[in-house]
Structure 1
Amino acid sequence: MRTGLKPVLRTAVALVGASALIALAGCTTDPTVEPGGGEGGGEDSSEEWFDQKLYDRQFEERDVVPEGPEDKPYLQMINPEMGDTSEFKSEGGKKMCFANASISNPWRQTGWITMNEQLKDLKKNGVITEMETRDAQDNDDTQIADIDYFISEGDCDGFIISPNSTSAITPAVERACKTDKPVIVFDRGVETDCAVTFIHPIGGFAWGIDTSQFLIDNLEKGDKVVALRILPGVDVLEQRWAAAEKLFGEADIEVVDYFTEGDPAEIKKVVSDELAKGDVQGVWMDAGDGAVSAVEAFEDAGKDYPVMTGEDELSFLRKWKDTDMTAMAPVYSNFQWRTPLLAAEMIFKGEEVPTEWVLPQSPITAEDLDEYLDRNKGMPDGHYAKFGGEDLSGFPEVWQDRVIP
């Protein structure tokens, strides 16, 4: 894995459509994908991951009013095409088997806590008797073995899979589908549509559009942006960057991008090195881990705060509030961790569910920053503001205490 201390400089971008991949999220590497160009990422990577049709679809979905209960975003749906699940209808409590990519970052930890609180409620209601979980710890081979273990074990009533990477996990998902038990894929995607439903927020292109357009609207032509990327080969991260790179190039914004693995020390070093070369007017991130370190680099250098996009992690929101800088927090809706279990409940009742369940994905802006800070008072810095678990029985203590099951 390369961390890329030498940037790739771009002032104009020509992007070529590539075959569509289902959107995913998270911070792991697909070993089948090699980043192109220089150590900072490369144009080949952007070309591979850009898909005009998916870009256009997610561009439009950003403005769609979702269907579903207004106070339950985790049950809302954007442009759903409903699928029949009557073949899975059955009585009694069910055992679910969950193959999780990892809980190795604050976003996944927040979701995992929320998922387990949702599970407690469903257990009380007799819907699910047990959820056996195996954690792949960000390793494709481990997750493939986990899924095959569940299949060979033979006592799973249904499967929930959050894939570690896109192509590597696809065959294992297909094997799970062949058991004729319902398979639910969420968060990250695979290259098959055999699952009963694939649950995810709008996607990486939507993130890239929202964030880059915010920076463009608040910068001048020729201004310099440092783009901080976590890892290559994760499709939602690559799609975030592909959309942003396209729009930055069209707006004549100078961009240098680096892979940092989300390491705060690396982020601070990268930004400090760029500031030593000259002024930086903007910071763009494909995920918000370490965002505060980027801000601190400006403070240490005695420079004006940049126009910046981070994420809805509270550490960034609080720093944004304290500095009053020009910022926006994109969101990859953490409340999606509730939806697979609720989808399983619907499936075993024989109710229709969307074949692709697209959840809302709305950034936090300056206008609603105070609202989300107030709603999350007492939560730790690693908590995500739009976690969507306020109505669960463990709120707020379980999240405040950061109880990781």
Structure 2
Amino acid sequence: MRARIRPALTIMSVSALLVLGACTSEVPTDTDLGTETTGADAAGESEFFVQADYEAQMALREAVPEGPEDRPWEQMIDPEMIDTSEYQKDGPHNLCFSNAGLFNSWRAVGWRTMQAEVDLHPEIAEFTALDGQGQDDKQISDIGSLAAQDCDALIVSPNTTATLTPAVEAACGEVPVIVFDRGVETDCPVTFISPIGGYAYGAAGAEFLRDEVEPGGSVLALRIAPGVDVLEHRWAAAERVFEDSDLDIVGVQFTEDDPATAKNIVSDFIQSNGGLDGVWMDAGATSVAVTEAFEDAGMEIPPIVGEDQQDFLQAWQDKDLTAIAPGYPTFQWRTPVIAALRILNGEEVPREWRLPQPVVTEDNLDSYLQEGMPPQHYALCGCEDLPGFPEEWGG
């Protein structure tokens, strides 16, 4: 029996439509909101799904990374090292950073971690960062502005994939570029840095639900937003796991990473379906709000996919949840700074710098839950050895 994935938005709260519908009374199309074809078509590849990349990430989950055991942000999985001697120059260096934005807590924790990494390196004379505020047009302008400045290397975390590609390509002609977190559709950057990837993340959560939810059980999939490669990959991988399971995927809906929207969506599904047997999420910032929807309905919280956010890990422990938290570690924000300095020193770096991607499970939850940290902190920050921790991270 193959999983049945129902079209999205069979039920939708008014508040969610206000967030997602952008002043229209029409139900958004799958391009806007994601139906069973979002991210990947069941028949094969699509704009955001590449079978070879999917298979590679599934295999990399079992790979042993190279590098210092106590510094996962410097580790590399199956690296293809490249020569960077053409970029070698004497310091001190001016590094520049075009950030997609600080529009969620994950990025805020990462940004604080990156700044602390910069402070470790006296060879960095100046660090110029521009905030794209989650707007493609602004980030395109930011990248052009930084590329025209006296930057020795440019770090980019793109807001979206396709739209930012031309700006990154233009910058590559002016300065060595390091892309991390979210990708672009060009290989011109010197290196692309990320954990194993979205396919591995999405599959981990879906496999957990496949194993924990009884056959025929109803599962709701919650996503943040369309058009970002790593998020599309998460759903594409989960979709394939679900298609080969006996689960009933009753909806695929976007929350725009808003807890109130997520809670309303789940509440509507509980009311309409008489409950849910599992919740898959492509990111965990709204996971606690999801658990509250079940509590408000007087129902047991079913198996749920969250993330390594402090409030979810705490709720997991306090409420004895059946849960998993695939990681997309914020320690990756340290790596671009390290990569930029290695490139400017003419040292080899990986063409694709793949970092470890830990998964929080019931067996290792205690080792990741950090007492005294704020609700929006991410446990996989790799920041415990940095000056100012924990106070400067809100602890």
Give the structure-2-normalised TM-score: 0.90
Q: Paired residue for 1:184? A: 178
Q: Paired residue for 1:250? A: 244
Q: Paired residue for 1:27? A: none
Q: 1:388-403 counterparts in 2 under 5 A?
A: 388-400=382-394
Tell me, in whole angstroms, the C-alpha distance in 2 between the residues paired with 1:162 and 1:149.
15
Q: 1:184: how far off?
A: 0.5
Output one character per residue of 1:12-57: Cα deviation in whole Å (capped at 9) or x when no partner: xxxxxxxxxxxxxxxxxxxxxxx85497511332323332111100
Structure 1 runs of 4+ with >3 Å offset: 4-8, 35-40
Query: How many correspondences in the alignment?
Result: 366
Tell me, in whole angstroms, the C-alpha distance in 1 between the residues paired with 2:205 and 2:317.
18
Q: Paired residue for 2:21? A: none
Q: Paired residue for 1:298? A: 294
SS at structure 1 position matched to 2:354: strand
Q: 1:7: how far off?
A: 5.4
Gaps of 5+ in 1: 9-34
Of residues 256, 262, 270, the one that matches 2:257 is 262
Q: 1:249: how far off?
A: 1.7
Tell me, in whole angstroms, the C-alpha distance in 1 between the residues paired with 2:242 and 2:9.
21
Output one character per residue of 1:210-251: Cα deviation in whole Å (capped at 9) or x when no partner: 110011111121100111111111111111111111111210
Q: Paired residue for 1:342? A: 338
Of residues 216, 236, 239, the one that matches 1:222 is 216
Q: 1:71: how far off?
A: 0.1
Output one character per residue of 1:350-385: Cα deviation in whole Å (capped at 9) or x when no partner: 110001100010110001111111xx2211010000
Q: 1:3-402 counterparts in 2 under 5 A?
A: 5-6=9-10, 37=30, 40-45=33-38, 46-47=40-41, 48=46, 49-122=48-121, 126-153=122-149, 155-179=150-174, 181-255=175-249, 256-276=251-271, 277-373=273-369, 376-400=370-394
2:132–2:138 CA contact under 8 A, matched in 1 = yes
SS at structure 1 position matched to 2:148: helix
Output one character per residue of 1:179-236: Cα deviation in whole Å (capped at 9) or x when no partner: 1x21111111001111111000111100111110011111121100111111111111
Give the structure-1-normalised TM-score: 0.88
1:6–1:39 CA contact under 8 A, matched in 2 = no
Tell me, in whole angstroms, the C-alpha distance in 2 between the residues paired with 1:364 and 1:98.
30
SS at structure 2 position matched to 1:329: strand
2:33–2:225 CA contact under 8 A, matched in 1 = no
Identity fraction in percent: 52
Output one character per residue of 1:72-120: Cα deviation in whole Å (capped at 9) or x when no partner: 0000000000010111112221001111100110000000000000111
Gaps of 5+ in 2: 1-7, 13-27
Q: CA RMSD in A?
A: 1.6
Could you tell me which amino acid in structure 1 is paired with residue 239 of structure 2?
E
